[in-house]
C-alpha cells in the first residue's frame, strides 16, 4: 500500500478523557486508533493493583471505552492498538474477548508479551523490585496486525511503538528501513501524548482560538516515513509548528532518540505548516537501534508523610527557624529522611491573608511506617499553642503513605522474549534486532552567528520563547524553543548552562547538560537528579517537573528589542 495511513490517538495517560475514543471514531476517517496508557508512575500503580488482584494489572478504563466503542470501531473498519495491557496483556486480551462476546461482536484480539522480567529480576541484577518491564518495540504488533487482529493490546512497549507498528504493517516496511521507521517514531512521539500535540499544555496557549474542548491528534504517515500531524475537522485546539515542536521536545535528551527498532535522529527533521491544523514532518533519519533495552524498575521505597505549616505576615524566616527547631526536638525517634522546604509564597503588604502567607513543608520518609505516621504529624500539631504567632497547619494529623522508587535498568535485547500471541492462540517469537549500534552522544553543531548588538528590554524569557518540561526517572528535561532564525541566534548564545542555572537556582548544584536542535530553533536541557528517585518519591512539590519550563519562561532576561513581537 502506498497511500497515507491515518493513525489517531485517544489516550496520553491512564486517566485521560474517557470520551476520546468515541470522539476520534466519530470525528473523521481513521485506519488505526491507538492509545498510550503507561508511564513510569503508572507501572507502579499497576504493580500495586496486581498485588491486590493477580488478575488485574491492566488499564481498566480501556475496557470501559471499548464497551462503548468496540462495535463502532468494527463498523468503521478501524483497528485498535494500545499498551493498556500494562503488567497483564494476556488478562486484558481475555477481558476484551469476553466483552466482545457480551456485545455479540466477532472481534479478533491479539496481544504482545515478554516484557515482564519480574521473575528474572534477581538473576538480571535488578534486585528485589515490584515491577520490572523491558521496553519492547513494534514488531510484535506488526505480526499481530499482519495475522488479522482487529485489536492488539501490549504490555510495556515504547510509547511510539503503538504508532510504528500500524505504519510498518500497512506499508510492509522491513526491519532495516531505518529512515522510514525513524519517521514513524517521531510522528508517534508527537501524538502519543494526546492533546499535547493539538494545543494542550502549550506555552503560547493564549494564541489558540478554542481550548475549551481540544481534539486528540492524528498522524497521516506516508511510505517514505514522512508524516502530517493534524486533527479531525471542526474540532477544538490547534496543530501548528509550535505545538508540534513543543511535543517533540518532551522528555528527550539530545539529537538521538533511542527506540528498540531504530534510533531516530531528532535533529534531522524539518517542520512545515502546510495549512490550518496541518504540520508536515520531513527529513527523518534513522540509525540501527542500541543492543540493549531499557527496563522500567519500580519498588516500594517505604512510607512518607508531610506536615505543612502556614507562616503569615512578618518574620517569615524566623518563624520557620523556630518551628523547625521545635519539631526536630519533639521527634525523638528520627525517620531516615527529614526534608524541609520553605515556599515563599508571601507578598509584602498583601491584600489577602493567603497572599501574605508562606508554606513550610516538613516531609519525612522511612521504611518503618510508625516513624512517619500519626506520631510524627501529631508532634507538629502539638506545637499549635507553643510556637510562632499565627500558627496553623493545612491538615489534621494523619498516617503515612507508601511511596515508590523508580530507576531504569538495561538488559541485552537478545535476553528478552518478545512474543506475539494471536487470536487463535498461536505464538510467534519476535527476534531481537540483528543490526545494532551502541548509543553515543550527538556531536554538538556549531553555534549560529551571534546577533548584532542593540538596545534590549528586561522581560520574561517567555515573551519570545516557549518551553516544555517533563520527567524521566529522577531527571527532568526542559526544551526551549523560539520561532524565528534571529531569535534562535540570540537564544543559542544567551541561554547557556550557566545562565540556565542562574535563572533556575534549584538546579545550581546539579549536573545540567545542554543540547542544540537547530532545525527546531530549540535547546534541550537535562537536569540530573532533580526528581530524586522518580515521580512517586515526590522530591519536589512538582514531582513530574511539569511546571519547570514555565518557571524558566517567567524569569526575566535582557531581550534585544529587534526580537520582540
pLDDT digits (tens, 9 = 90+) for 34-70: 999 998 889 999 998 998 999 999 999 999 999 999 9
- pLDDT, tens digit (0-9, with 9 covering 90-100), for 5-17: 999 999 999 999 9
Q: What is the pLDDT of residue 535?
A: 84
On the question of pLDDT at 1 being above 80, the answer is: no
- pLDDT, tens digit (0-9, with 9 covering 90-100), for 308-327: 999 999 999 999 999 999 99
- CATH number (domain holding residue 324): 3.30.70
Range name among 109-113, 233-237, 398-402, 510-514 with the lowest pLDDT average:
398-402
Residues 412, 424: Cα–Cα separation, whole Å: 30
Same domain, 469 and 542: yes
On the question of pLDDT at 556 being above 60, the answer is: yes
65 domain residue, yes or no: no
Same domain, 467 and 557: yes
Same domain, 368 and 460: no
Same domain, 548 and 469: yes
On the question of pLDDT at 155 being above 80, the answer is: yes
Whole domain around residue 326: which residue ranges? Answer: 297-405
Give the 3-state DSSP-derived string for 55-101, with helices as H, strands as E and coil as C. CCCCCHHHHHHHHHHHHHHHHHCCEEEECCCCCCHHHHHHHHHHHHH
Same domain, 367 and 464: no
Residues 365, 368: Cα–Cα separation, whole Å: 9
Q: What is the pLDDT of residue 513?
A: 97
Residues 372, 334: Cα–Cα separation, whole Å: 9
The residues near 271 (Cβ < 8 Å, ≥ 6 apart) are: 241, 244, 245, 279, 280, 281, 519, 520
Q: What is the pLDDT of residue 537?
A: 85
Same domain, 399 and 498: no
Q: What is the pLDDT of residue 539?
A: 82
Buried residues in 5-43 as b, exposed as e (16+ CB within 10 A): bbbbbbbbbbebbeebbebbbebbebbbbbbbbbbbbbb
Q: What is the pLDDT of residue 2?
A: 55
Same domain, 401 and 322: yes
562 contacts 499 by C-beta, under 8 angstroms: no
Same domain, 480 and 542: yes
Q: Which residue, of 385, 405, 425, is where some domain finishes?
A: 405
Torsion of CA 65, 70, 76, 77, to 10 degrees: 120
Q: What is the pLDDT of residue 267?
A: 96
Range name among 430-434, 470-474, 537-541 with the lowest pLDDT average:
537-541
What is the rounded average pLDDT for all residues in the chain? Answer: 96
**Percentage of the chain exceeding pLDDT 90:** 93
pTM of the entire predicted model: 0.94
Same domain, 307 and 380: yes
Total domain count, the chain: 2
348 domain residue, yes or no: yes
Q: Which three cell numbers stand for residue 56?
A: 488485574
The count of other CB atoms within 10 Å of the CB of residue 285 is: 17
Q: What is the pLDDT of residue 3?
A: 84
Residue from 180, 137, 255 nearest 520 by CA:
255
Q: Which three cell numbers stand for residue 364?
A: 519525612
* Helices marked H in 104-231: 139-146, 161-171, 178-191
On the question of pLDDT at 240 being above 60, the answer is: yes
527 contacts 476 by C-beta, under 8 angstroms: yes
Amino acid at each position: 500500500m502506498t497511500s497515507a495511513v491515518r493513525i489517531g490517538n485517544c489516550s496520553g495517560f491512564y486517566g485521560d478523557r474517557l470520551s476520546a475514543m468515541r470522539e476520534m471514531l466519530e470525528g473523521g476517517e481513521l485506519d488505526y486508533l491507538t492509545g498510550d496508557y503507561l508511564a513510569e508512575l503508572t507501572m507502579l500503580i499497576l504493580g500495586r493493583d496486581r498485588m491486590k488482584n493477580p488478575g488485574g494489572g491492566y488499564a481498566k478504563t480501556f475496557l470501559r471505552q471499548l464497551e462503548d466503542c468496540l462495535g463502532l470501531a468494527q463498523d468503521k473498519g478501524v483497528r485498535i492498538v494500545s499498551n493498556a495491557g500494562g503488567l497483564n496483556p494476556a488478562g486484558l486480551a481475555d477481558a476484551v474477548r469476553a466483552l466482545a462476546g457480551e456485545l455479540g461482536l466477532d472481534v479478533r484480539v491479539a496481544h504482545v508479551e515478554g516484557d515482564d522480567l519480574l521473575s528474572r529480576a534477581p538473576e538480571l541484577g535488578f534486585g528485589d523490585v515490584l515491577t520490572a518491564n523491558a521496553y519492547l518495540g513494534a514488531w510484535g504488533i506488526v505480526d499481530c496486525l499482519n495475522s488479522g487482529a482487529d485489536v492488539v493490546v501490549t504490555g510495556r512497549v515504547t510509547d511510539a511503538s503503538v504508532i510504528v507498528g500500524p505504519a510498518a504493517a500497512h506499508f510492509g516496511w522491513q526491519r532495516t528501513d531505518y529512515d522510514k521507521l525513524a519517521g514513524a517514531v517521531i510522528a508517534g512521539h508527537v501524538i502519543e501524548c494526546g492533546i499535547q500535540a493539538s494545543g494542550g499544555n502549550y506555552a503560547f496557549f493564549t494564541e489558540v482560538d478554542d481550548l475549551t474542548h481540544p481534539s486528540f491528534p492524528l498522524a497521516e504517515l506516508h511510505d517514505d516515513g514522512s508524516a502530517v500531524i493534524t486533527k479531525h475537522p471542526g474540532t477544538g485546539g490547534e496543530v501548528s509548528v509550535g505545538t508540534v515542536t513543543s511535543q517533540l521536545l518532551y522528555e528527550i535528551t539530545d539529537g538521538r532518540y533511542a527506540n528498540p527498532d531504530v534510533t531516530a535522529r531528532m535533529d534531522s527533521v524539518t517542520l512545515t505548516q502546510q495549512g490550518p491544523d496541518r504540520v508536515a514532518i520531513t527529513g527523518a533519519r534513522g540509525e540501527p537501534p542500541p543492543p540493549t533495552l531499557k527496563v522500567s524498575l519500580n519498588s516500594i521505597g517505604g512510607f512518607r508523610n508531610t506536615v505543612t505549616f502556614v507562616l503569615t505576615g512578618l518574620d517569615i524566616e524566623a518563624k520557620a527557624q523556630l518551628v523547625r527547631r521545635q519539631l526536630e526536638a519533639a521527634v525523638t525517634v528520627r525517620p531516615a529522611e527529614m526534608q524541609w522546604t520553605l515556599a515563599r509564597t508571601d507578598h509584602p503588604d498583601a491584600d489577602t491573608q493567603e497572599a501574605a502567607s508562606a508554606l513550610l513543608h516538613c516531609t519525612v520518609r522511612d521504611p518503618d511506617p510508625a516513624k512517619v505516621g500519626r506520631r510524627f504529624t501529631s508532634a507538629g500539631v502539638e506545637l499549635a499553642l507553643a510556637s510562632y504567632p499565627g500558627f496553623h497547619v493545612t491538615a489534621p494529623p494523619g498516617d503515612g503513605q507508601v511511596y515508590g522508587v523508580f530507576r531504569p535498568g538495561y538488559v541485552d535485547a537478545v535476553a528478552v522474549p518478545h512474543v506475539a500471541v494471536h487470536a487463535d492462540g498461536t505464538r510467534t517469537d519476535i527476534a531481537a534486532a540483528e543490526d545494532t549500534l551502541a548509543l553515543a552522544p550527538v556531536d554538538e553543531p556549531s553555534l549560529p552567528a551571534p546577533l548584532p548588538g542593540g538596545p534590549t528590554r528586561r522581560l520574561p524569557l517567555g515573551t519570545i520563547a516557549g518551553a516544555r518540561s517533563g520527567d524521566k526517572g529522577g531527571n527532568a528535561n526542559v526544551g526551549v524553543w523560539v520561532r524565528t532564525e534571529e531569535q534562535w541566534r540570540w537564544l543559542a548564545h544567551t541561554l547557556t548552562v550557566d545562565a540556565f542555572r542562574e535563572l533556575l537556582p534549584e538546579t545550581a548544584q546539579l549536573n545540567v547538560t545542554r543540547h542544540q536542535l537547530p532545525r527546531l530553533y530549540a535547546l534541550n536541557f537535562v537536569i540530573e537528579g532533580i526528581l530524586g528517585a522518580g515521580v512517586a518519591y515526590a522530591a519536589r512539590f512538582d514531582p513530574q517537573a511539569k511546571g519547570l519550563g514555565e518557571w524558566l519562561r517567567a524569569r526575566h532576561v535582557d531581550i534585544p528589542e529587534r526580537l520582540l513581537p
